[in-house]
Amino acid sequence: MIKIAIVGLGGAIGAMCRFLVYEAYINALKNTSLPLGTITVNVLGCFIIGFLGGIADTREIFAPEVRLLIFTGFLGGFTTFSTFGFELFLYMRNGQIGLAVLNGLIQLSAGLIFVWIGFELSKAI
């Protein structure tokens, strides 16, 4: 039961952080074609998981409970690939195939690149 509580706590914090990032973009950029808030949290989440995953892989400093809190809970609540999929679906349903492809390419390529950058950076510190 404690593991569920740890994941839930991390997920709640991650979801609140995702909401704050998304709202900041909505308030700052009222007329944008791409979902920049979603792109930002996905790329940032990929960087964080790459960086912390690299530290966990090379230094073995995270207790299992901390891994649950951060990796499963926080990052699971923070990143928004379910929202990403739905936004792609909406673009395609509305005939905006170009924006769907652009959005998908940005998020997938930037996500992979930032996982790699985070992982490599973790080895440098």
Specify whether the CB–CB gap between 58 and 123 falls below 8 A.
yes
pLDDT in tens, 23-68: 998 888 877 788 888 888 999 999 999 999 999 888 888 999 999 9
- Of 48, 17, 22, the C-alpha closest to 35 is 22
Specify whether the CB–CB gap between 82 and 15 falls below 8 A.
no
Each domain of the chain, given as residue ranges in start order, spans: 2-124
Mean pLDDT of the chain: 92
Asked whether residue 38 is marked as a ligand-binding residue, the answer is no
The alpha carbon torsion through 55, 59, 65, 67 (nearest 10 deg) reads 20
For residue 1, the model assigns a pLDDT of 94
Give start and end residues of each alpha helix (H) in the chain: 2-28, 36-59, 64-67, 75-78, 81-93, 97-124
Asked whether residue 58 is marked as a ligand-binding residue, the answer is no
Measured distance CA(88)–CA(97) in Å, rounded: 9
Joined together, the tokens standing for residue 123 give 């080895």
Q: What is the mean pLDDT of residues 11-33?
A: 89
